[in-house]
Structure 1
Amino acid sequence: MQTSIVTRLDALSCTDLSDAMDRLKIVCQCTDIMPLDRSFNLTGKAWTLRYGPIGLDGGSVGDYIDDLEAGQVVVIDNQARLDTTVWGDLLTSTAARRQLAGTVIDGICRDVDRALELNYPIFSRGNWMRTGKDRVRVEAIQAPVTLGGVRVQPDDWLRGDGDGLVVIPAGSLSEVLAVAEEIHQAEEHIRAAIEAGVPLRKARADYGYHALQTPRR
């Protein structure tokens, strides 16, 4: 079942899914969370971690990576901080070896070259070299987090590509997939019509382009 879901999601772009969830009135688009490389693609279920600033009792980055399963996505909420990293070379190497689907961060990462070398998908607000050790502390594991203004629950689905990242709530997955596939098919028909010489205005009208993402309830 999960393999089938991954296959269906992989066939859809973030724009397909974004339009589908607009129609369904689901907030899904993670603002300013982008791939380190535009070729990165990511599909998988969320495993969540939230960091906060250190207090008098010091910091903790957490040792969690060995507990994740192949195909999961590491979702890290570092409260959009740009002054300290929470992901680097050793985590990337381990995650790639364990065949995780990727890492998404509301914050920044470092050691970008390793991710590019291993073709390991990372989506974040950017990269910088300053370590998070002694600057952050683990506040919650496998709890709801925020990612680019979107709430993410453990086991929600994530899809990332060159256009960014979207979150698909687990309880809405079937409905989102059905609508996104309908939108994808309509746009494929429009593209085929354009290639055949049909004017864009007519092709759009024939397949209801302007209402594809419009809420219907």
Structure 2
Amino acid sequence: MSEIEQDKNVARAAKLETATLSDALDRLGLNGQCYKIKPRDASFRMAGRAFTILYGPAASPAGTVGDFIDDVPPGSVIVLDNGGREDATVWGDILTEIAHRRGIAGTVIDGINRDVHLCLSLGYPVFSKDNWMRTGKDRVQVEATNVPVNIGNVRVAPGDLLRGDADGVISIPKEHEERVLAAAEEIDAAENAIRRSVATGMRLDEARKQFKYHQLQTRRTGEEA
């Protein structure tokens, strides 16, 4: 898949809700729903390709927690695997300010962040398990950059496609993104057809039956990834 086609797929993903993408993943038998990773504000929305960071417990002396920011391409989603830790942050106001200025699409954390006020005031999308104020400095450090990581029990590789909205975060493996997006667009079209049919007087149960609503997410023989 060319770089131009990949960019088009980011735009396609941005038009789809995570709930629709979740149903498409289910249909294809793929795991991409990042468990318990939530937006710090329900208005946050993002789509982009993963730039991944893997954290581990700090050594002595401790390594850095965040000097990677200048290497992240604009439009990327920064993906931070802190092992789900909720006792030490790996994202705060300086990183939010720089990421916003550099045109980063958003940040996803298997763990927590702090300085929520700034991401809210700037409208910079941060998705994490929670927020708390205690620093990760001297507690965690960067172990590797742009390697496969774990976010909410989902494997995220560099360049994978991420979509976030009020319901959470979806990660789509790069090698399956065309099939996932096509399935999601089909599901979205069917649901919109149901809405139009009901708006013109059709009963909901009839509309759902006509457009096979209850089977939209069901695995189909030969369609699994």
Whether the TM-score (by the shorter chain) exceeds 0.5 is: yes
Q: Which residue of 2 aligns with 1:157?
A: 161
Partner residue in 2 for 1:107: 111
Alpha-carbon offset, residue 62 of structure 1: 3.6
Code of the aligned partner of 1:82: E
- Length, aligned pairs only: 217
Choose 52-61 or 136-145, whichever is displaced more.
52-61
On the 8 A contact 1:86/1:131 being kept in 2, the answer is: yes
2:44 to 18, 35, 40: 40
Q: Which position in structure 2 is the counterpart of 1:125?
A: 129
| C-alpha distance in 2 between matches for 1:143 and 1:174 | 22
> What residue is the counterpart of 2:9 in the other structure?
5
Give a deviation string over 1:185-211, Cα, whole Å, max 9, x none. 000001111112211110100001111
Superposed counterparts of 1:1-217, under 5 Å: 1=4, 2-217=6-221
Give me the whole-angstrom Cα distance separating, in 2, the residues matched to 1:183 and 1:75: 27
The alpha-carbon deviation at position 176 of structure 1 amounts to 0.7
The answer as to whether partners of 2:66 and 2:90 remain within 8 angstroms in 1 is no
Q: Please report the TM-score for the alignment, with normalisation by the length of structure 2.
A: 0.94
On the 8 A contact 1:46/1:157 being kept in 2, the answer is yes
Question: Quick one: percent identity of the two aligned structures?
Answer: 53
Q: Distance in 2 between matches of 1:4 and 1:58?
A: 41
Q: Name the TM-score, length of structure 1 as normaliser.
A: 0.97
Q: Deviations over 1:161-197 (max 9, x none)?
A: 0011100100111111110000000000011111122
Partner Cα distance (2:71, 2:85) in 1:
25
Taking the aligned partners of 1:34 and 1:128, their CA distance within structure 2 comes to 14
4+ runs deviating over 3 angstroms: none
Name the amino acid aligned to 1:173.
E
**1:48 touches 1:143 (CA, 8 Å); kept in 2?**
yes
How far does residue 3 in structure 1 lie from its aligned partner after superposition? 4.0
Q: Given the superposition, is the C-alpha separation of residues 153 and 43 from structure 1 closer, same or farther in structure 2, using an over 3 Å criterion?
A: same
Q: Distance in 2 between matches of 1:76 and 1:7?
A: 23
Unaligned runs of 5+ residues in structure 1 are: none
Letter matched to residue 100 of structure 1: I
Q: Is the 8 A contact 2:81 2:150 kept in 1?
A: yes
CA distance in 1, matches of 2:13, 2:82: 27
Shift of 1:53: 1.1
Q: Can you give the 5+ residue segments of structure 2 that lack an aligned partner in the other structure?
A: none
- Say whether the 8 Å CA contact 1:59–1:135 is kept in structure 2: no
Instruction: Give secondary structure in 2 for the equivalent of 1:51.
Output: strand
RMSD of equivalent CA atoms: 1.0
Distance 2:95 2:40 in 1: 16
